[in-house]
């Protein structure tokens, strides 16, 4: 059986029209008709009911469609794996990463891993932490790197890193040695507090801040890199994991503010897995050598 016949059949089943099928496949409409007739002859059944220009699958056609898709899928998967093999890869590793981790920890670590494991083909999906557990559970990825632990009993989570959270403010332009230290209460009274840029600690932290500084005005900003930009532009202050602002602090764009009124939370990074296979173990072992 020619694969072109199956591809034409699958496309026709999706389009319900031979003309649209021909356009999508860049072949003539008579060729579509010939392909379908050849496949029907080979299978010994009618695959479509025809009503003028309209077509729809017969019961046999609906039954066979899933098999046709499976055959094409296996063929295309084989081609992809062969190309991967020819490029020198022997293992695939699919990783889901939260935007915060992708913008912070991962680039350096991933570069080191790729250099030391050239046989591993890496694919990365940027997914919000709240959705990473579902991606691992559905086996869309092999490992999830999340700011949240998992709750499914089918999955395991491992604490990789713990990062202190600090209060960050825009640089006030004053000389570091001669300037008075910035005051947490004054900053919160005169600036918006940019919240919910981390999925784990903000609900509890907001409640605590309201107890100590009830007049604090808050603005939700869901992404850390946007929060940092807002702070640098003087739009507010925020409590952020120290590793996410390391460069900005060194370059003088932002300032760390000392806090003593209440204990600050910790930001955590978890690895979420469904299977403890060799490739997962090797990657997590490599990752554990680094700290934020």
With CA atoms as reference, report the closest residue to 154 among 142, 129, 136.
136
Does the pLDDT of residue 215 top 80, yes or no? yes
**Across residues 111-136, what is the average pLDDT?**
89
pLDDT class of 198 with cuts at 50, 70, 90: very high
Higher pLDDT, 205 or 101: 205
pLDDT of residue 204: 96
pLDDT of residue 107: 80
CA distances from 172 to 231, 245, 259 (A): 11, 16, 18
Query: 173: phi > 0 → left, psi -120 to 50 → alpha, else beta; which?
Result: left
Does the pLDDT of residue 197 top 90, yes or no? yes
C-alpha span between 156 and 281 (Å, rounded):
12
Domains of the chain, each with CATH number or no CATH: 3-86 (1.10.10.10), 91-161+268-287 (3.40.190.10), 163-266 (3.40.190.10)
Does the pLDDT of residue 146 top 90, yes or no? yes
pLDDT of residue 221: 95
pLDDT of residue 47: 95
With CA atoms as reference, report the closest residue to 129 among 166, 165, 104, 154.
104
**Across residues 164-182, what is the average pLDDT?**
73
pLDDT class of 87 with cuts at 50, 70, 90: low
Beta-bridge partner residues of 202: none
pLDDT of residue 190: 93
Collect all residues with Cβ–Cβ distance below 8 Å to 81 and sequence separation of at least 6: none
pLDDT of residue 1: 63
**Across residues 40-69, what is the average pLDDT?**
91
Higher pLDDT, 42 or 107: 42
pLDDT class of 218 with cuts at 50, 70, 90: very high
Extract the tokens encoding 153. Answer: 């009993």
C-alpha span between 147 and 245 (Å, rounded):
16
Do residues 269 and 144 touch, judged by C-beta distance below 8 A? Answer: no
C-alpha span between 64 and 290 (Å, rounded):
51
Please, what is the average pLDDT of the chain?
Answer: 89
pLDDT of residue 60: 95
Using alpha carbons only, how large is the chain's radius of gyration in Å?
A: 28
pLDDT class of 288 with cuts at 50, 70, 90: confident
Q: Tell me the torsion sign for CA atoms 261, 266, 267, 272.
A: negative
pLDDT of residue 90: 59
pLDDT of residue 53: 74
Alpha helices by DSSP H, 87-179: 99-102, 106-116, 129-137
Rounded-to-10 torsion of CA 94, 96, 102, 108: -30
pLDDT of residue 46: 95
SS3 (DSSP) at 170: strand
pLDDT class of 180 with cuts at 50, 70, 90: low
With CA atoms as reference, report the closest residue to 185 among 203, 218, 212.
212
Does the pLDDT of residue 261 top 60, yes or no? yes
Extract the tokens encoding 152. Answer: 């499914």
Beta-bridge partner residues of 167: 239, 257
Query: 192: phi > 0 → left, psi -120 to 50 → alpha, else beta; which?
Result: beta
């Amino acid at each position: 059986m020619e694969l072109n016949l199956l591809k034409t059949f699958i496309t026709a089943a999706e389009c319900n029209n031979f003309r649209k099928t021909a356009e999508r496949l860049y072949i003539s409409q008579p060729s579509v008709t010939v392909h379908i007739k050849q496949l029907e002859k080979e299978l010994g059944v009618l695959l479509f009911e025809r009503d003028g220009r309209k077509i729809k699958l017969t019961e046999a056609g609906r039954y066979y469609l899933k098999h046709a898709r499976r055959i094409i899928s296996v063929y295309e998967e084989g081609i992809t794996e062969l190309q991967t093999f020819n490029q020198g890869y022997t293992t695939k590793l699919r990783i889901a990463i939260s935007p915060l981790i992708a913008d912070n920890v991962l680039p350096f670590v991933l570069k080191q891993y790729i250099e030391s494991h050239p046989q591993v083909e890496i694919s990365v999906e940027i997914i919000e932490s709240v959705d990473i557990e579902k991606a691992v559970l559905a086996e869309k990825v092999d490992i999830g790197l999340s700011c949240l632990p998992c709750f499914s009993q089918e999955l395991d989570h491992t604490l990789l890193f713990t990062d202190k959270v600090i209060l960050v403010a825009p640089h006030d332009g004053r000389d570091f040695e001669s300037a008075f230290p910035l005051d947490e209460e004054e900053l919160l009274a005169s600036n918006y507090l940019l919240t919910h840029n981390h999925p784990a600690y903000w609900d509890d932290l907001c409640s605590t801040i309201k107890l100590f500084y009830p007049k604090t005005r808050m603005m939700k900003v869901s992404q850390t890199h946007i929060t940092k930009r807002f702070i640098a532009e003087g739009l507010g202050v925020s409590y952020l994991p120290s590793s996410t602002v390391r460069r900005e602090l060194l370059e003088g764009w932002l300032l760390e503010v000392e806090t003593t009124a209440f204990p600050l939370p910790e930001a955590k990074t978890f690895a979420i897995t469904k299977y403890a296979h060799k490739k997962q173990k090797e990657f997590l072992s490599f990752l554990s050598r680094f700290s934020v």
